[in-house]
Structure 1
Amino acid sequence: MVEVTAERGKQLSSRVSEEGAGWSCTQIGTFAQLRPGRKGFTWFNARTLWRSRNEVLSGLFGDPSGQVRRRWVAEQEARGADPGFRIRPEVGDSFDFLLLGDTGEGDASQYAVVPGLLKVGEGTSFAVIASDVLYPAGSGNEYGDKFFRPYQDYDAPIYAVPGNHDWYDGLGGFMRVFCDAPPLRPKPGRGLRGLLWRKPEPIDERRLAEARKLRSRPSQQPTEQATQPGPYWVIESDSLLVVGVDTGIRGTIDRQQADWLRRVSRDPRPKILVTGKPIYTRNEYKPSPLEGGGTIDDIIRDPAHRYVAAIGGDVHNYQRYPVRVGDRVIQYIVSGGGGAFMHATHTIQRVDVAGVHEDDFRCYPLRGDSLSFYSQLYAKRLRMKWIYLTPGEASCIMSRQIGNNPVRPLGQVKITRRMRWAARLLGSWPMPFRLPVATAFHRYLSELSDWDTPPFFKQFLHLSVTPQTLTVRCFAATGCRSQELDPPLEDEVTISLS
């Protein structure tokens, strides 16, 4: 079924037509009925910002995630967790699984992903969430509408690596839900950071028990050997290891986890890495540092370790960089379009990082669609009708600016001064003043880019494993009914595991 969906999806994608991108949505999808009626959180609320203060405090006073993580790991080991933090599902040497990132806003953009995910994910062995399972602050009391309800019909276990937002709760909610771990014993902090640091929120166990009932079928529960042991882990199969690492708030890996990662990486089987922080994003290189020296990417690039891909969340779109390392190519992928508001792709300049050629780079949404999306958003929010760029206009502007081969056929568009100024204000190329579209802005004022009607430009990955190959497919979720029934295939790459 997945193969048929993939072949048909190629004819529907944004790389083929504006219709494939979801711009001509004649019928809104069924996600609207799945979404709960409760209003979601707002970043314009002082309480929300205060609950999320650990991001700022970690930048000012240092990130204590490594110390807290070691306490969680010690408690899990004392409770009998596998000492190698291994997960051993009964999958054989060929299997499929899903991967999605940055999911849990609990609003339309999260629920719009669900129908296509369920269709493509039918028959998969498990799913993995890479980063930020829950917004805004990882509370264990908010998993009902932001995790259990949206994925109640996904008929397999779900594993996760935490993102920075999950750490704003000291990982209390994450560990309780995914590892069934009791709260850590309180430990007084030192200095001003200890005084201001947000502690884990007490969990309403009755409320959590009710939420768990939504995913209580036996097929959704991992076996004893396949239970998630901690915030980092390795999923083992005969053909491939899926190695999940916890990058905390600031992206640093503590010494204990780094030592574990080195041990796991010496296994002779091929591997992919799942991380909360992508290594290549926005044409930049951001390897996560290891406490004691070196980076995660040093481990990935070592040919003895046989990593074929590294997939990270945190950035809310899809990007793929095929990086040549010696005589092989490692696929570095961003997959953070699982539910949160969209991070722009039109602000990514012509790709040249690590020798990756622009025409070998892939992103979703396409830069032109991203520019058109933000022009429409600001035209409505700020009542600036002149700033709106149609998808065709925006695609022509971005193709001319980037100098790449057009991704989809371009119509006859005359680029005017108005269009050029609109694109400049929307950040399509650097200038002293532009409207806020960067990720730093989104951290605090993301509702200005929140969108409750199609197209949503969300995405998830379907991965197929055989003893010989790993095939990674990126499917889109636009929120349109027709594309719920037949999700568009935006990218596909097959990697040799030989």
Structure 2
Amino acid sequence: MSPAETGFVRQRPVPWLNPGLLAGTAVRVLLAYLFGGYLDKRELQAALPDRAYDHSAADELWFDYTADVGDGFDATYTIASLLARPELMLDDGRLLPRGDLLVLGGDQVYPTASNPAYEHRWKGPYRAALPDLAAVTPSLYALPGNHDWYDGLTAFLRLFAQGDTVGGWRTRQARSYFALELPHRWWLFAVDIQLSSYIDEPQLAYFGRVAERLTPTDRIILVPAQPSWVKTHDRPDAYDSVDYFIRTVIEPTGARVPLLLAGDMHHYARYTGPGPDGRGRQLLTCGGGGAYLVGTDHLPDAVAVPPEETITRRRSTPQRYERAAAYPSQQTSRRLGRRIFSRLPRRNPGFVWLLGLMQTLLMLAFVTSPDHLITPATVSGVVAVLVGTAVFTLVLGERTRKHMAAAVLHAVPHVALALGGAAAWSALPLSGLANPWATLLAFVVYGPVIGLADAWVVGAYLLVARYFDVNVNELYAGMGIEDHKSFLRFHLGRDGSLTVYPVAVERVAHRWRADPGGAPGSPWIVPEDPLHATLAEPPVLVDGPRGSTARNG
């Protein structure tokens, strides 16, 4: 089917380390850090409808959760097509009905939000996976992530807060945050923390009004946009907003929070512990909806939230949670990480050319200053390298002493490679040619070779840095691995118990065919080869029947 028929153009995965995108990402992160408050539209949403959305009528309910979805077509559509199936058959023969609700947990588009980006990277594929249904229309709710926020939430609100349909799904929310009333006194609260910021007053007032309906027997699924519980080792204040929300909005009602759920990190991971009431709490991350895989090998064995190190004046008592599951496994993640040397140059050719240009210029500076290594040209080149590694490590990552040290150490092998390259080039007959031929040949012959070598230097740095939890995201972004996807299918049973099925997809599809003659509501595009869905771990009982005091884990 042509783009004119489907309404969208299939997109390739975002090449995150290509120079233009890398620079744009750094600028957006910096602008968000400096001016994020000026882009905050959450206070303006106070004028929009503020109701909770009632899905409590049924005795039981199936619903789905996925996050980090709008990247390359193959991975995005693989997950969309599985979510859209009336019944999902797992490889073990288990049948899971399609969810009556679909909750998107953030980052519905990459690299930045805009109407065309949403259309081609998310809306079009999801519409093709589940065209208009004549009968029941599943509801769709979306929570914005940082990539949705980069345009100030303008495109996000146009798409998700107007009550429109996306194929067979219907959007219902009016704001960027929402509360869903589920059967058996379960609730889902999706909280918009903007760009890792505070929770605004209109949003607190909205959830405060909803909380007036809570009782001590109610149970809450709390959905922030980021799994802040695993980010506190570098940022002790990362969990403060979540802790404040639980402590001031939910706990006064006596209601419990058996599950915290977030995306943002592109894998599946589950931490479990007794929770504040001793009856069990799960901390669950599932960001496998389509974006590049981020491995799990850097995840801590246990987390304590809120952390002891936070300087928040008032906080809850720290609770310890042990890692119970991770997909892909840490062993698999380490194995995948070693593919950086082949995948980084192949997926990011522009990055290799940038490194080749930088190395060639620095080499020429050293070659033209054989007797004096410290010259304006060489100093400028070394400073440029330091600026580049600082941007790579500090702007794209965190800004701690550990990251500052990594930025400096990262520059050393690049400068050493340039010195070695200068010595090697000087020994070649080509270097003795008259200019401009010697310089021209340096860019044509030396540049591509040294660019590839320098890309391997970056790969080696990323492999080492991940053991110190530095630039982990860039390691996996550079590889752009589309496989190892995941989403969650929840079952709220007739007895009030909540079970989560963490669905895993080892391999995404890459070959597709059009199916315009299918039955109404069937997908427009189907895979050439069958998709295989398994469970990342056995089904997890989040909380037992209503009134049960059994601890879950």
1:487 to 531, 534, 552: 534
Determine the structure 2 residue equivalent to 1:248: 194
1:164 aligns with 2:146: yes
1:60 to 34, 58, 62: 34
1:469 to 497, 508, 511: 497
Distance 1:302 1:278 in 2: 24
1:136 to 82, 106, 111: 111
SS in 2 for 1:326: coil
Determine the structure 2 residue equivalent to 1:311: 261
Give the RMSD, CA atoms, in angstroms: 3.5
SS in 2 for 1:230: coil
Determine the structure 1 residue equivalent to 2:126: 151
1:277 aligns with 2:226: yes
CA separation of 1:164 and 1:282: change in aligned 2, threshold 3 A: closer
C-alpha contact (below 8 Å) 1:276/1:314 kept by paired residues: yes
Deviations 1:15-66 (Å, cap 9, x if unpaired)? xxxxxxxxxxxxxxxxxx999544454442536744774431232345345x
- Displacement, 1:122? 4.0
Deviations 1:116-167 (Å, cap 9, x if unpaired)? 3334364321100001111111112222222222222346222101011111
C-alpha contact (below 8 Å) 1:251/1:288 kept by paired residues: no
Distance 2:253 2:281 in 1: 10
CA separation of 1:297 and 1:278: change in aligned 2, threshold 3 A: farther
Distance 2:177 2:201 in 1: 13
Distance 2:211 2:460 in 1: 45
Deviations 1:243-298 (Å, cap 9, x if unpaired)? 111111124211221233344335122210111122322685765444xx962343
- Displacement, 1:484? 2.1
Aligned length: 370
SS in 1 for 2:71: coil
Distance 1:483 1:428 in 2: 38
Distance 2:302 2:56 in 1: 40
Higher helix residue share: 2
1:232 aligns with 2:177: yes
Distance 1:62 1:115 in 2: 35
- TM-score for the superposition, normalised by structure 2: 0.59
Determine the structure 2 residue equivalent to 1:412: none
Determine the structure 2 residue equivalent to 1:221: 170
C-alpha contact (below 8 Å) 1:34/1:150 kept by paired residues: no
2:472 to 438, 445, 453: 438
Code of the residue aligned with 2:280 in structure 1: it is: V
C-alpha contact (below 8 Å) 1:232/1:246 kept by paired residues: yes
CA separation of 1:178 and 1:342: change in aligned 2, threshold 3 A: same
1:342 to 293, 307, 330: 293
Distance 2:251 2:336 in 1: 37
Q: Percent identity?
A: 23
Code of the residue aligned with 2:156 in structure 1: it is: F
**More RCO (CA 8 Å, sep 6+):** 1
- Displacement, 1:319? 1.3
- Displacement, 1:492? 2.3
Code of the residue aligned with 1:252 in structure 2: it is: Y
- TM-score for the superposition, normalised by structure 1: 0.65
Deviations 1:447-472 (Å, cap 9, x if unpaired)? 512135xxx11100001112420101
Which range is displaced more, 35-44 or 241-250? 35-44
Determine the structure 2 residue equivalent to 1:298: 247
C-alpha contact (below 8 Å) 2:465/2:472 kept by paired residues: no
Determine the structure 1 residue equivalent to 2:463: 426
CA separation of 1:348 and 1:289: change in aligned 2, threshold 3 A: closer
Distance 1:346 1:100 in 2: 22
Determine the structure 1 residue equivalent to 2:101: 126
Distance 1:126 1:146 in 2: 21
Alignment of 1:77-92 (within 5 A): 81=49, 83=50, 85-89=51-55, 91-92=57-58
Deviations 1:194-239 (Å, cap 9, x if unpaired)? xxxxxxxxxxxxxxxxxx88x344xx336xxxx2121111111232
Distance 2:46 2:267 in 1: 31
2:162 to 160, 180, 190: 180
CA separation of 1:288 and 1:258: change in aligned 2, threshold 3 A: farther
Runs of 4+ more than 6 Å apart = 422-425
Q: Quick check: which has more Rg, 1 or 2?
A: 2
Unaligned runs of 5+ in 1: 1-32, 182-211, 384-421
SS in 2 for 1:261: helix
C-alpha contact (below 8 Å) 2:179/2:190 kept by paired residues: yes
Determine the structure 2 residue equivalent to 1:459: 486
C-alpha contact (below 8 Å) 2:64/2:487 kept by paired residues: yes
Distance 2:98 2:467 in 1: 46
C-alpha contact (below 8 Å) 1:312/1:335 kept by paired residues: yes
- Displacement, 1:376? 2.3
CA separation of 1:329 and 1:59: change in aligned 2, threshold 3 A: same
C-alpha contact (below 8 Å) 1:346/1:428 kept by paired residues: no
CA separation of 1:49 and 1:173: change in aligned 2, threshold 3 A: farther
Determine the structure 2 residue equivalent to 1:105: 71
CA separation of 1:288 and 1:141: change in aligned 2, threshold 3 A: farther
Distance 1:35 1:370 in 2: 33
SS in 2 for 1:333: strand
Which range is displaced more, 313-322 or 39-48? 39-48
Unaligned runs of 5+ in 2: 1-5, 89-95, 131-136, 306-318, 347-458, 510-528, 548-553
